[in-house]
Structure 1
Amino acid sequence: MWSTDDVARDSVRRQGNALTAAVVAERVAEAAVRERETSKQALLGDTFCEYETEPERLADIWAAKHMEWQRVRDLMTQSGWSRYEPELDLQSSQWAQERGQQRQATLSAHAAHLARRHDERDGLRTELWVSARAGRLIRAAADRAGLQPAEVLAQLAERVVVGKDGTLSVPPFSPSR
């Protein structure tokens, strides 16, 4: 989820493209009014049904938008720009790049999580209780192969053959890494 600053920066970057200094000044004034209104409504506990968001978050977003519009206005004044061009705004471009990297990292992490869940669905995790005699045999085979007992059981399960009559058997094999 984007922070209120990220929401404001992205919004101003998109909406501000090619705006003149006079229009940017109007946006600063509008954001100041919205900041006051939403702040007041948040304090009163009013809801914003049309926006379906928490009043505090909306107030925070408008405060952040107000600050960002002011930053753009000041940058345009200092740089002598007649129109706002987001590509020339180094700070805004850096923030946009960071948001893009965050988004890509989040998407990659989500894809990896889905892949792990898919693999887990295909696999089987279980707790197995075996007799003392069977346990000793499995531990001995694991020790000889330098494996954990669970690894020997996994190799054993991978080699199970199901007969036509439903019987299970395992051809002889030596556990290995």
Structure 2
Amino acid sequence: MADKVAEAARRERETQQQMDAPAEGGPFATDPEYLAKLWAAKHAEWRRIAALLETSAKQVYDPEQDPQGVAWAQERETRRQDTLDRHTAWAKERQDAQDELRAQVWLPADTSRRLRAIAARAGLQPEQVLAQLADHVRMNDDGAMMVAPFTPHRVEGA
């Protein structure tokens, strides 16, 4: 345990010195501040574990017997699961967005007037009527499309 504490202290000093030195290439060139914080945290954790072993008079560290370590592990697992859940939700939203179709349709004036009149009677926007129309389209075996009679209606929550 003393070796781990000493190694962490040494690395913490080295990374801090590297941060204070003029910028140059080498192993610390990517982000010396992050590396310094990482070793400072590791040093503090190894000191905490050494103190825990000293107060418990145990020779071997058992993570299951470390209440602070168990609590931190549970917090990490909760954060990990939350991150996975958010990523899954984001991926689903992204897939749903890819499955959507947005189209701009240019209609002749007489067709456009009829569509606007139908939409107005139904209390809808013309785009909503077209979306409902598309929902009702069926294709025969020979490729012909047909739409059974339907009444455009408001969709709750839309």
Fold conserved (TM > 0.5)?
A: yes
CA distance in 2, matches of 1:97, 1:84: 18
Alignment of 1:1-177 (within 5 A): 24-44=1-21, 45-49=23-27, 53-126=30-103, 133=113, 134-141=115-122, 143=123, 150-161=127-138, 169-176=146-153, 177=155
Q: SS state of the match for residue 62, structure 1?
A: helix
Does the 8 A contact of 1:47 with 1:55 survive in 2? no
Alpha-carbon RMSD: 2.8
Which letter does structure 1 place at the counterpart of 2:36? Answer: A
Note the C-alpha offset of 1:26.
Answer: 1.6
Partner of 1:21: none
Aligned length: 149
Structure with higher RCO (Cα < 8 A, 6+ apart): 1
Note the C-alpha offset of 1:148.
Answer: 6.1
Does the 8 A contact of 2:15 with 2:35 survive in 1? yes
Q: TM-score, normalised by structure 2?
A: 0.77
The gaps in structure 2 that reach 5 residues or longer are none
Note the C-alpha offset of 1:124.
Answer: 1.3
Note the C-alpha offset of 1:89.
Answer: 0.4
Note the C-alpha offset of 1:126.
Answer: 4.1
The 3 A distance-change label for structure 1 pair 48 and 65 is: farther
Note the C-alpha offset of 1:150.
Answer: 4.5
The gaps in structure 1 that reach 5 residues or longer are 1-23
Does the 8 A contact of 1:48 with 1:55 survive in 2? no
Q: SS state of the match for residue 154, structure 1?
A: helix
Q: Between the two proteins, what is the percent identity of the paired residues?
A: 45
The 3 A distance-change label for structure 1 pair 70 and 129 is: farther
CA distance in 2, matches of 1:94, 1:148: 55
CA distance in 2, matches of 1:96, 1:106: 15
